[in-house]
């Protein structure tokens, strides 16, 4: 069996216009990669919502995997806009193969 290491999986739900700001913060935290996925609809504390490209209210999910130290640096970088811009940031431990890549 291949050896695994523990890393942090980071998911950030953000309004699509904020993608560049979030991915820039990921890059500054020296996290080696990220993926952006479109989100069509959901429901939360403020109720259900649907993709709305006309008004710019559509959302995206940004995924990344990083060491605990780099994940903490990203959280620190994004903390000023978590509430003000309504970001949802979650992270948890995952096992990865080829941990040196993260």
CATH number for 4-95 (one of 3.50.50.60, 3.30.70.120, 3.40.50.300, 3.40.50.1000): it is: 3.30.70.120
Query: What pLDDT sits at residue 102?
Result: 76
Mean pLDDT of 65-81: 96
pLDDT for 53 = 56
Q: Give the confidence band of 40 by pLDDT, cuts at 50, 70, 90.
A: confident
For the ranges 44-48, 79-83, 89-93, the lowest mean pLDDT is seen at 44-48
Long-range contacts of 73-79 (CB under 8 A, 24+ apart): 73/29, 73/30, 74/10, 74/25, 74/26, 74/29, 74/31, 77/25, 77/28, 77/29, 78/12, 78/22, 78/25
pLDDT of residue 83: 86
Band of the pLDDT at 58, cuts 50, 70, 90? confident
Query: pTM of the prediction?
Result: 0.85
């Amino acid at each position: 069996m291949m050896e695994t290491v523990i890393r942090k999986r980071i998911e950030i739900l953000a309004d699509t216009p904020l993608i560049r700001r979030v991915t820039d913060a990921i890059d500054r935290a020296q996290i080696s990669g990220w993926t952006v996925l479109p989100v069509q609809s959901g429901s939360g504390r403020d109720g259900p919502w649907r993709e709305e490209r006309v008004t710019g209210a559509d959302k995206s999910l940004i995924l990344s995997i990083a060491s605990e130290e780099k994940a903490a640096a990203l959280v620190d970088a994004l903390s000023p806009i978590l509430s003000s811009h309504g970001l949802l940031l979650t992270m948890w431990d995952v096992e990865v193969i080829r941990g040196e890549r993260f």
